[in-house]
Structure 1
Amino acid sequence: MKKINDTVTVSASEANETAIKALCNLGLSMSDATEVSEILVTADLMGIRTHGIKRVTSYGERVSVGGINTTPNITVEHLTPTISRINGDNAMGPLLGTKALNASIDIAKEYGTGISFVNGSNHFGPIMPYAFSAAEQGFVSFICSNATTTIAPTGGKAARHGNNPLGFGIPSPDGNHVLLDMALSMVARAKIREARDIGQKIPDTWATDANGLPTTDPTAALDGMLQAVGGHKGYGLALIVDLLCGLLSNASYLTHVKAWDKQPDLPQNLGHFFFILDAKVLGSTEWLSRRMTDFAEILHNTPAADPRQPVILPGERELKNYRHQKSNGLIYDEELYSSVFRLAENC
């Protein structure tokens, strides 16, 4: 660990070790803590800091009041040879996300495609680390989750559905995978909390206040609702995600989902959906490499409206961050890292 002013620089392995120890101290087994940490540290490496190891402390707050089960009895039902359902027993979200990813990949290795529905879960971090892991192993992925209700349906003035994230991963044999991770609001709620914490205003297109009026005040926005991306189109996508992840997964959906920040002691019963496809069934590695390279070159060669901002592919920035920070270390706010480190001290 290297301190500079109010920051610390740590290697990926140090961050991972600290997160694992903190999670163990919360009550997880070493193997479960390792799986959770892998998702959160990968998020940090990619620059998705709102969903990285800072989440350990918020997960810990829910554990302390009984809102998350650290010793769950997770069961996997094989509904058909290609479809599984994972009953999470209120486990930590990234643990269930990792188990669903691995289960789907194992199925896809044998049958070409694998699907997992998950219930009894909690916040499972960002989607991109899962899509990245799948792509590194040569698998296409579509992954989504439902979430706490924060957005009003089109035409309504009360929140009824969540800022439900969805993501895709398309593997490229050269490692330059296409990775899309997006929520269905203009921004993630975590970004509004971050703006509040540092005393910044937000654009009035991000959220509304409790009366449904656009606001630049992050505190008012957190008491109000997020604005859906694309209006009615974002609303429609959010409902499809909730149908897959909530209703069909036998998890909670719409207003049945408990808010982790308002009712931290209650199980959320979130649901997730994982669809995995083995790219090898479509063609050889050489075939995929040639086509992915050509695809990327066409886009990269697009004349840029602003030469300082060339055209890039989804996930390109995050992969660049990942490789740079993997080699050079992660820079954390000292207070943030110390809060996780303190949780790790007694493990």
Structure 2
Amino acid sequence: MSESGQVRTVWTEAELTALAIRAFQGLGLTQKDAADVVRVLVLADLFGLSTHGLSRVESYGDRLMVKGIRAQPSIKVESPAPALRLIDGDNGVGPLVGMHALRAAMDAAGQYGIGMAFARGSNHFGPISPYSLIAAQEGFASIIGSNATTTIAPWGGSDARLGNSPLGFGVPNPGGQPFLLDMAMSVVARAKIRNALKRGETIPDTWATDEKGRATTDPKAALDGFLQPIGGHKGYGLALMVDLFAGLLSNAAYLTHVKSWVDAPDEPQNLGHFFILIDTKVLGSPQWLTARMMDFASILHDSPPAVEGRFVIMPGEIELKKMAQQQADGITLDPAVVKLLQEHAAKFA
């Protein structure tokens, strides 16, 4: 709180990181584990992905307090083959399990040129782009995915049978900005619909359907219905592929076996993730990769814009620009999120 009683909303990255670590320690995590979780969530806020940033302290915190998520899990890493890692998250906070899996995949790729990690026993792990950025900063190209609670009907079906499973790609650029693509399999995430409901706003009729499969502009009806997949049947196929890798192959839950964190907050979700990493340093020198990445970007940037003033961009450019701006000017956070962080941090103090 400020002296006037107003909740402070603009923070430096270091200040916000320190506050958030204390908040998760207040929820029972160790300092080391809290730092892993906060690293992912603060990066999400720096990117402007506020629905997947520190606002998640609400849902994560609620589940930690009812023992639906284990505050101090015993995460195990196995290596059944040289470049393969299996991570048992022991029902830990999602970003914590995600960071363990990312490090395991980077270790494997660093040794063998390519590495893959399957994680099980996890929960919502935030957006993918923070993991892709961390990997890119270490010279790794990445393909990362996670499954999710069921919110999408199978193509031609009339009830939710698969999740809005995110998929992301990253390619490093030693001399510039990496390529970062982070997308869900629906037109929008449910968080955007929930936010529209909170604000009393309507939504575009392309975002979701009601419970009978009819397009709707009512966020309440949309939340009771189904998300629309990107690209129709093609998005449906992609969502299934992500769940096959993240859920089925990882030995996690999949499709309707995934528990809803909303309907059953006190039960483990057993979400799964996968991380495929390629060590670009074995493909060529940093100068080689930089030259090719710069040329790749320039070919796209040089395309004349169809709409004046709206120039062609590469995936990740908006988020990285937002990150640079907020690192310079401070991270703006919702007052309610700040207040909740401070309440949990007070438990630790």
Q: Same fold (TM over 0.5)?
A: yes
The correspondence of residues 41-190 of structure 1 with structure 2, limited to 5 A, is 41-190=42-191
Counterpart of 1:325, as a letter, is Q
Cα distance in 2 for residues equivalent to 1:299 and 1:141? 21
CA contact (8 A) 2:158 2:213 kept: yes
TM-score, length of structure 1 as denominator length: 0.98
TM-score, length of structure 2 as denominator length: 0.97
Q: Cα offset for 1:313?
A: 0.2
Distance 1:6 1:341, change over 3 A: closer
The question of 1:197 aligning with 2:198 is answered: yes
Residue in 1 that maps onto 2:308: 307
Cα distance in 1 for residues equivalent to 2:62 and 2:176? 37
Q: Cα offset for 1:346?
A: 2.4
What does the per-residue CA deviation read over 1:212-244, in whole Å, with 9 as the maximum and x for residues that have no partner?
Answer: 111111111111110000010000000010000
Residue in 2 that maps onto 1:243: 244
The question of 1:281 aligning with 2:278 is answered: no
CA contact (8 A) 1:115 1:275 kept: yes
CA contact (8 A) 2:7 2:339 kept: no
What does the per-residue CA deviation read over 1:91-122, in whole Å, with 9 as the maximum and x for residues that have no partner?
Answer: 10000100111111111111101100000000
Residue in 2 that maps onto 1:333: 334
Q: Cα offset for 1:309?
A: 1.1
Q: Cα offset for 1:175?
A: 3.4
Cα distance in 2 for residues equivalent to 1:169 and 1:4? 43
Residue in 2 that maps onto 1:16: 17
Q: Which runs of 5+ in 2 are unaligned?
A: none
Give 4+ residue runs of structure 1 displaced > 3 Å after superposition.
Answer: 1-7
CA contact (8 A) 2:91 2:121 kept: yes
Counterpart of 1:284, as a letter, is S
Residue in 2 that maps onto 1:208: 209
Cα distance in 2 for residues equivalent to 1:62 and 1:189? 19
Cα distance in 1 for residues equivalent to 2:83 and 2:137? 21
CA contact (8 A) 1:18 1:340 kept: yes
What does the per-residue CA deviation read over 1:9-61, in whole Å, with 9 as the maximum and x for residues that have no partner?
Answer: 11111111111011001110000000000000000001010000010121010
CA contact (8 A) 2:208 2:228 kept: yes
CA contact (8 A) 1:136 1:175 kept: no
The correspondence of residues 214-225 of structure 1 with structure 2, limited to 5 A, is 214-225=215-226
Counterpart of 2:201, as a letter, is Q
What does the per-residue CA deviation read over 1:136-194, in whole Å, with 9 as the maximum and x for residues that have no partner?
Answer: 11110000000000000111011100000000000001231000000000001111111
Matched residue of 1:54: which SS? helix
- Please give the root-mean-square deviation of Cα atoms over the aligned residues, in Å: 1.4
Matched residue of 1:346: which SS? helix
CA contact (8 A) 1:6 1:333 kept: no
Residue in 2 that maps onto 1:36: 37
Matched residue of 2:160: which SS? coil
CA contact (8 A) 1:208 1:221 kept: yes
Q: Cα offset for 1:6?
A: 7.2
Residue in 2 that maps onto 1:27: 28
Aligned length: 347
Distance 1:336 1:266, change over 3 A: same
